[in-house]
Chain A
């Protein structure tokens, strides 16, 4: 009887449940913006995943998937010394005070030192925050004229390369057999190493191979070192800019890597130059580019011709897909349009120019672009002549014809009168980005001829980043002794006799010349962690022991002494401005730099005869290869940092892998689906990679990222992806990365690519707002769907500060610096590929990327989403233990020690910003990674929910400082970690109760809207509509994201 009753009850409840389900309001889904292919195709699987809070059973994990657990254990995690405050007598802890109190150290109060970051793409001046002599965070250097406080994801992660447990702890020696095939290394003392190396160096025929060296004093040391031993200095790295420099030389007679004034340009055309992503100096470019778009009425227009879906392409107002062989056609076609067709510019009367351009008369048709649209691009450029800029470069343009492309682009800029205005060749990057292919090829030739007895390799990795076909490794065997300064037993170190590990840049003094006349200095932030020695001191020591070389090289005991003297002799006379040297030096250390931003240069005359070599590239039928560096790993030198590997690619959102990108049409032709393993073949080389279907890609393009497939970078990087540098085809006559004919075959196996696109969706509701400039000029609130919002509640009272964050979607480029900044500030762990596949990534701030439009020509929008700190927070009302509660400052607080892990809050969060600690990600962390943790933020343990706190620790610190100084908090005192890292100033944090604060003003703009605002959660984060500066105009005023009327 009882049983029956129970059953009946059960039936009834199911009935009620069904009724309740039926009574639920329909979710207003909108597929105009789509996160991934599944959403585009309205796949039921996508909607199922969007409705479920967790993608996998909470029980899945540790037991069944031992491998996955092991995987994250080798990542960054940490032991938490949780002192038991219970009945058990707590463990006895000791306090060990200083012997002598260092003057500048106040326990718990941060010191900032000027430092630098350099990974081959950009010399960046940064500040390093230290506490008790321990570097904790990389911050932007706001006074520095180029980056103006901007940072990149890679520079933010540099902290973890300092604490990388796989750095070698002291000098090592390789015990080679005759064939140099075994890899037995032994420890060696510095003294012994020095003696042995000096004996070798005395034999002469020395070569020094380095990456680009932005440090003038280091260049001087190398020069003097080479004088001492009859050596020669070569400079090479994989992502060098010799194409730009050679193109400038051919066009104007003098090599240069010009500074582009993206802030002053009204029209910017980029032909495969990913200047916001992973071309040269992306932080500076992003900063300057965003300045030209802050005033929406006068914002610049970015037009890209993109053979890969680059970050720059994703940010463009108008994007055209091309393939590498069409790059020259674009530049020359635009010139043809202006000069021949429309008879504009003084070159219209030049017969040589005209005859060259005639070859490109069918450019628009060749490119498959509507001729009227193509002409419009040309007209845009002409209308803003003198205020426009055309750029091209990077690996996707390295198709053997890069010099011709550069000439074509330079010509176009000359026609438009941009040279000397938006293109500043006097303010030149050549010194800091000096690496070139010529250097490397000359060195290889010399090595093969047996003319190099000793080779010193510093900060470049040719064994990894060169294709085997070039024969660098064979050439190495003809060198008697190879010395490298690698910080780990990497690919180069495997082939070296001696490893004399260099200090990390944060452990070292140094200087950086960014562009001509703009120099910065960086200080060490801690004593070297291990028994390492700076590269500079190594060279100085060897010269000293051999007693050879100029006096200056031998006179100093440390690199610092050399550096200071170098500045006194070489830089102070010009930059000193009449101050005495000590004053100058102290000011320099305080400011971090001398010099100023570029002021413009005069125009040069373009050598029209250079156009002779610009030929149309013959059209090919097959697929063309595009190799590109990614924003997260760039050249691959930092790939042993787990949080960089787990940083979603800004465009594809895939982590922990590289893959072949192709268009939907190509995938259908190949009968392939996402994740299918394919074999791609270039010449005699082939590689097996998973396939990724990328919207907006040219149908003839197969794109692969470089920087993956390391073999000796460390346990995190090794074996992740494949080394696509192997596809490069390098000879004296042509440097070819992209544009090569590539074959592709399906292998019939499938792997899962770990992507975060489609994770944490808001049930597919439309949350991103966008308008075209024409719509915006008619109605500043264009793109927003206004609601009248009412509430039965009177709401909270916020009498003091009320914190809010404004996110300008029009400025955000999706570069993801904020994601890494947040991770290092808030001790957020990486979880590993297996758990990303289950939707368990821990990022407190995520950048959603949406595509819009059809599959073939999709536009992209980026939207950073963090905890919205709602006034009426849905998470707060469902927490059974009051672990997440509201503060009187408008923040939504999380008390970790109260949380019991019901995860109700996450389930009830409409924005999907809460993250659950499924495991003790930090528990078994290797020494010394725990030193990177921010002591101001609790390290969370298993079973605890966490999320963005608005950097509450920074609010507390700023408030305390203001109290100690006896003044109220002022606008700008509190800056969140994401905000300080942002190169485009897209994030504004501040007090909403202060009507004059920047955030209040941003909130008052007509473009401002809150996510899912009509639900009345009253988020404290508000977004500002993205404006696309194209010529489109929407007919009606419907759609758009929702905002309060």
Chain B
């Protein structure tokens, strides 16, 4: 019996990375950010468009984290007394930046193009989940290759399935 349990445990631990859905892909990763920027407040309550801040996402492979200037566009007037806004304003005035913690990360050999997906009509929520309800952003999808391929395989998506679509 003990041997059997050992086998099961070993089997699980050996295959955990590869075959167990969701494990090892950082799904649900929700790091603490230097400033607790609340997406549910900005997007959910105030209905600010994603592209207002992530303004290069339609043109670029990357979705940019907004510059401090973008924050200050509103926060020169809005909620100026908040300690977090003060932190941003001080960094902005000093010509410095904020070190945000990266939530979504692909390995170096994977190329993902935001603009291509957006222009195809894939919404942000498809991959990033209900951002408008997230107080603290977490990784919604597992961002594994199988997860990518699931969509690319759908006839309706007309997406290419070449290796070199993502790997080069």
Q: Which of A91-142 contact B (CB under 8 A)?
A: 92-101, 106-109
Closest to A132 in B: B62
Closest to B107 in A: A85
The one of A82, A97, A956 that contacts B168, using a Cβ cutoff of 8 Å: A956
B108 at the interface (CB under 8 A from A): yes
B51 at the interface (CB under 8 A from A): no
* B163/A101 in contact, CB under 8 A: no
Closest to B92 in A: A99
Bound together, the chains give a CA A937 to CA B160 distance in angstroms of 19
The one of B26, B96, B167 that contacts A897, using a Cβ cutoff of 8 Å: B167
| B63-105 near A? 1/0 per residue, CB < 8 Å | 0111111100000000000000000000110011111111001
B153 at the interface (CB under 8 A from A): no
Provide the residues of chain A in CB contact with B24, threshold 8 Å: 85-87
B164 at the interface (CB under 8 A from A): yes
Provide the residues of chain A in CB contact with B61, threshold 8 Å: 107-108, 960
With A92-B31, A100-B67 given, is the CB distance from A83 to B105 under 8 Å?
Answer: yes
With A87-B16, A92-B31 given, is the CB distance from A109 to B59 under 8 Å?
Answer: yes
The smallest C-beta distance from B67 to any residue of chain A, in angstroms, reads 4
The interface-forming segment of A292-300, A464-472, A882-890, A1029-1037 is: A882-890
Provide the residues of chain B in CB contact with A887, threshold 8 Å: 162-164
* B98/A80 in contact, CB under 8 A: no
Bound together, the chains give a CA A891 to CA B162 distance in angstroms of 10
Provide the residues of chain B in CB contact with A960, threshold 8 Å: 61, 113, 115-116
Provide the residues of chain B in CB contact with A97, threshold 8 Å: 64-68, 97-98, 100
The one of B91, B107, B163 that contacts A895, using a Cβ cutoff of 8 Å: B163
B152 at the interface (CB under 8 A from A): no
* B168/A94 in contact, CB under 8 A: no
Closest to B53 in A: A97
* B119/A963 in contact, CB under 8 A: yes
* B162/A889 in contact, CB under 8 A: yes
* A90/B65 in contact, CB under 8 A: no
* B67/A101 in contact, CB under 8 A: yes
Provide the residues of chain A in CB contact with B167, threshold 8 Å: 893, 895-897, 938
Provide the residues of chain A in CB contact with B107, threshold 8 Å: 82-83, 85, 897
Bound together, the chains give a CA A83 to CA B108 distance in angstroms of 7
A81 at the interface (CB under 8 A from B): yes
* B60/A893 in contact, CB under 8 A: no
With A107-B62, A108-B62, A887-B163 given, is the CB distance from A99 to B102 under 8 Å?
Answer: no
Provide the residues of chain A in CB contact with B102, threshold 8 Å: 92-95
Closest to A884 in B: B163
A952 at the interface (CB under 8 A from B): yes
Bound together, the chains give a CA A937 to CA B24 distance in angstroms of 25
Bound together, the chains give a CA A93 to CA B29 distance in angstroms of 13
With A86-B24, A87-B24, A108-B61 given, is the CB distance from A80 to B108 under 8 Å?
Answer: yes
Bound together, the chains give a CA A83 to CA B110 distance in angstroms of 11
Bound together, the chains give a CA A451 to CA B9 distance in angstroms of 88
Closest to B69 in A: A100
Provide the residues of chain A in CB contact with B99, threshold 8 Å: 94-96
Q: Is the interface of B mostly helix, strand, loop or mixed?
A: loop
A939 at the interface (CB under 8 A from B): yes
Provide the residues of chain A in CB contact with B115, threshold 8 Å: 960, 964
The smallest C-beta distance from A933 to any residue of chain B, in angstroms, reads 11
* B25/A85 in contact, CB under 8 A: yes
Provide the residues of chain B in CB contact with A93, threshold 8 Å: 101-102, 105
With A99-B97, A107-B56 given, is the CB distance from A893 to B92 under 8 Å?
Answer: no
* B168/A95 in contact, CB under 8 A: no
* A92/B108 in contact, CB under 8 A: no
Provide the residues of chain A in CB contact with B91, threshold 8 Å: 99
Provide the residues of chain A in CB contact with B148, threshold 8 Å: none
Provide the residues of chain A in CB contact with B23, threshold 8 Å: 87
| B109-145 near A? 1/0 per residue, CB < 8 Å | 1010101100100000000000000000000000000
Bound together, the chains give a CA A894 to CA B168 distance in angstroms of 7
Bound together, the chains give a CA A642 to CA B69 distance in angstroms of 42
* B116/A98 in contact, CB under 8 A: no
The one of B26, B97, B164 that contacts A952, using a Cβ cutoff of 8 Å: B164
| A588-599 near B? 1/0 per residue, CB < 8 Å | 000000000000
The one of A109, A937, A956 that contacts B60, using a Cβ cutoff of 8 Å: A109
Bound together, the chains give a CA A939 to CA B107 distance in angstroms of 12
Bound together, the chains give a CA A888 to CA B62 distance in angstroms of 26
Closest to B72 in A: A100
Closest to B71 in A: A97
Report the count of interface residues on B (CB-CB < 8 A): 47
With A99-B97, A949-B168, A964-B119 given, is the CB distance from A888 to B105 under 8 Å?
Answer: no
Closest to B99 in A: A94
The smallest C-beta distance from A111 to any residue of chain B, in angstroms, reads 12
The one of B16, B17, B59, B66 that contacts A964, using a Cβ cutoff of 8 Å: B59
| A908-935 near B? 1/0 per residue, CB < 8 Å | 0000000000000000000000000000
Closest to A955 in B: B164
| B27-46 near A? 1/0 per residue, CB < 8 Å | 00001000000000000000
The one of A107, A939, A953 that contacts B108, using a Cβ cutoff of 8 Å: A939
* B163/A82 in contact, CB under 8 A: no
Q: Which of B149-164 contact A (CB under 8 A)?
A: 160-164
* A101/B116 in contact, CB under 8 A: no
Provide the residues of chain B in CB contact with A893, threshold 8 Å: 162-164, 167-168
With A106-B60, A108-B60 given, is the CB distance from A98 to B67 under 8 Å?
Answer: yes
* B109/A99 in contact, CB under 8 A: no
Provide the residues of chain B in CB contact with A96, threshold 8 Å: 97-100
- Which of B16, B17, B61 has the most chain A CB atoms closer than 10 A to its own CB? B61
Bound together, the chains give a CA A97 to CA B101 distance in angstroms of 11
* A106/B101 in contact, CB under 8 A: no
Bound together, the chains give a CA A1012 to CA B107 distance in angstroms of 39
* B25/A95 in contact, CB under 8 A: no
Bound together, the chains give a CA A551 to CA B89 distance in angstroms of 44
Closest to A82 in B: B108
Provide the residues of chain B in CB contact with A80, threshold 8 Å: 108
- Which of B17, B23, B69, B109 has the most chain A CB atoms closer than 10 A to its own CB? B109
The smallest C-beta distance from B165 to any residue of chain A, in angstroms, reads 8
The smallest C-beta distance from A372 to any residue of chain B, in angstroms, reads 58
Bound together, the chains give a CA A181 to CA B162 distance in angstroms of 64
Provide the residues of chain B in CB contact with A889, threshold 8 Å: 162
Bound together, the chains give a CA A865 to CA B56 distance in angstroms of 39
Bound together, the chains give a CA A93 to CA B111 distance in angstroms of 18
Closest to A896 in B: B109
Bound together, the chains give a CA A86 to CA B95 distance in angstroms of 37
The smallest C-beta distance from A893 to any residue of chain B, in angstroms, reads 4
Bound together, the chains give a CA A87 to CA B95 distance in angstroms of 38
Provide the residues of chain A in CB contact with B66, threshold 8 Å: 97, 101
The one of A87, A94, A956, A963 that contacts B100, using a Cβ cutoff of 8 Å: A94
Bound together, the chains give a CA A890 to CA B163 distance in angstroms of 12
Bound together, the chains give a CA A894 to CA B160 distance in angstroms of 16
* A81/B60 in contact, CB under 8 A: no
Q: Which 5 A-B pairs have the closest CB atoms?
A: A887-B162, A893-B164, A98-B67, A101-B67, A93-B102
Additional A-B contacts beyond A108-B62, A888-B160, A897-B167 (20; CB < 8 A): A80-B108, A85-B107, A90-B105, A92-B102, A93-B101, A95-B99, A95-B100, A96-B100, A99-B68, A99-B95, A106-B59, A106-B60, A108-B61, A888-B162, A891-B162, A894-B163, A896-B109, A938-B109, A956-B164, A960-B115
Chain A residues packing against B (C-beta within 8 Å): 80-83, 85-87, 90, 92-101, 106-109, 885, 887-889, 891, 893-897, 936-939, 949, 952-953, 956, 960, 963-964
Chain B residues packing against A (C-beta within 8 Å): 16-17, 23-26, 31, 56, 58-62, 64-70, 91-92, 95-102, 105, 107-109, 111, 113, 115-116, 119, 160-165, 167-168
Q: List 23 A-B contacts (CB under 8 A).
A: A82-B107, A86-B17, A94-B100, A94-B102, A95-B102, A96-B98, A97-B67, A97-B97, A100-B69, A101-B64, A887-B164, A888-B161, A888-B162, A893-B163, A893-B168, A896-B109, A897-B167, A936-B168, A938-B109, A953-B168, A956-B113, A956-B165, A956-B168
